Amino acid sequence: MRLLVNGTERQLPAGSTVRDAVAATGADPDERGVAVALDDAVVPRSAWAQTALYEAARVEVLRATAGG
Amino acid sequence: MSKSYGRRRAGEVSDPLIIAGSVLRSRLLLGSGGFHHLDRFEAALAASGADLVTVALRRVEHAPGGLYEAIQRGGARVLPNTAGCYTAREAVHTAHLARAAFETDWLKLEVIGDRRTLLPDAVELLRAARELVAEGFVVLPYTTDDPVLARRLEEAGCAAVMPLGSPIGSGLGIRNPHGIALCREAVTVPLILDAGIGTASDAALAMELGCDAVLAATAISRARDPEAMARALRQAVEAGRTASLAGRIPRLHHAQASTADAGLAGIAGP
The CATH number assigned to the domain holding B193 equals: 3.20.20.70
pLDDT of residue B136: 97
Structural domains of chain B, count: 1
* Other residues' Cβ atoms within 10 Å of the Cβ of residue A50: 10
Exactly one of B3, B108, B152, B241 is catalytic; which is it?
Answer: B108
* Chain B nearest-CA residue for A35: B101
Q: Assess if residue B52 is contained within a domain.
A: yes
Q: Assess if residue B270 is contained within a domain.
A: no
Our CA-based measurement puts residue A8 at a distance from the nearest CA of chain B, in whole angstroms, of 11
Interface of B with A (CB under 8 A): 31-36, 41, 54-65, 67-69, 71, 78-81, 83, 93, 96-102, 108, 110, 215, 217, 221
pLDDT of residue B213: 98
pLDDT of chain B, 270 residues: tens digit per residue: 444 444 444 444 578 999 999 999 999 999 999 999 999 999 999 999 999 999 999 999 998 889 999 999 999 999 999 999 999 999 999 999 999 999 999 999 999 999 999 999 999 999 999 999 999 999 999 999 999 999 999 999 999 999 999 999 999 999 999 999 999 999 999 999 999 999 999 999 999 999 999 999 999 999 999 999 999 999 999 999 999 999 999 999 999 989 998 999 999 988
pLDDT of residue B4: 43
Q: Assess if residue B261 is contained within a domain.
A: no
Residue of higher predicted confidence among A17 and B15: A17
Domain that holds residue B125: 23-245
Can you tell me the mean pLDDT for A33-56?
A: 95
Do the chains contact at A35 and B97, CB–CB below 8 Å?
yes
Domain spans in chain A, listed from the N-terminal domain onward: 2-63
pLDDT of residue B65: 83
User: Measured between beta carbons, which residues in chain A are less than 8 angstroms from residue B69?
Assistant: 32-33
Task: Report the alpha-carbon distance of residue B116 to residue A43 in Å, rounded.
Answer: 34
Question: What number of CA atoms fall less than 13 Å from residue A42's CA on the CB side?
Answer: 16
Q: Assess if residue B5 is contained within a domain.
A: no
* Chain B nearest-CA residue for A41: B93
The answer to whether B108 is a known catalytic residue is: yes
pLDDT of residue B119: 96
Cβ(B167)–Cβ(B201) below 8 Å = no
DSSP assignments along chain B, one per residue: -----SS--TT--SS-EEETTEEES-SEEEE-TT---HHHHHHHHHHHT-SEEEEEEEEGGG--S-HHHHHHHTT-EEEEB-TT--SHHHHHHHHHHHHHHH---EEEE--B--TTT--B-HHHHHHHHHHHHHTT-EEEEEE-S-HHHHHHHHHTT-S-BEE-SSSTT-----S-HHHHHHHHHH-SS-BEEES---SHHHHHHHHHTT-SEEEESHHHHTSSSHHHHHHHHHHHHHHHHHHHHH-PPPP-SS---SS--TTPPP----
pLDDT of residue B171: 96
Domain spanning A2-63: which CATH class is it, in words? alpha beta
Q: Assess if residue B267 is contained within a domain.
A: no
Can you tell me the mean pLDDT for A40-64?
A: 95
* Chain A nearest-CA residue for B221: A66
User: Measured between beta carbons, which residues in chain A are less than 8 angstroms from residue B169?
Assistant: none
Q: What is the mean pLDDT of chain A?
A: 94
Task: Mutation target for A interface from B42, B58, B60: give the one with most A CBs within 10 A.
Answer: B60
Cβ(B161)–Cβ(B180) below 8 Å = no
Interface of A with B (CB under 8 A): 6-7, 25-27, 31-37, 40, 42-45, 60-68
Cβ(B161)–Cβ(B191) below 8 Å = yes
* Other residues' Cβ atoms within 10 Å of the Cβ of residue B161: 29
Do the chains contact at A64 and B80, CB–CB below 8 Å?
yes
Task: Report the alpha-carbon distance of residue B19 to residue A58 in Å, rounded.
Answer: 37
DSSP A54: -
Task: Mutation target for A interface from B36, B38, B61, B214: give the one with most A CBs within 10 A.
Answer: B61
pLDDT of residue A21: 95
Amino acid (one-letter) located at A42: V
* Other residues' Cβ atoms within 10 Å of the Cβ of residue B15: 16
Q: Assess if residue B265 is contained within a domain.
A: no
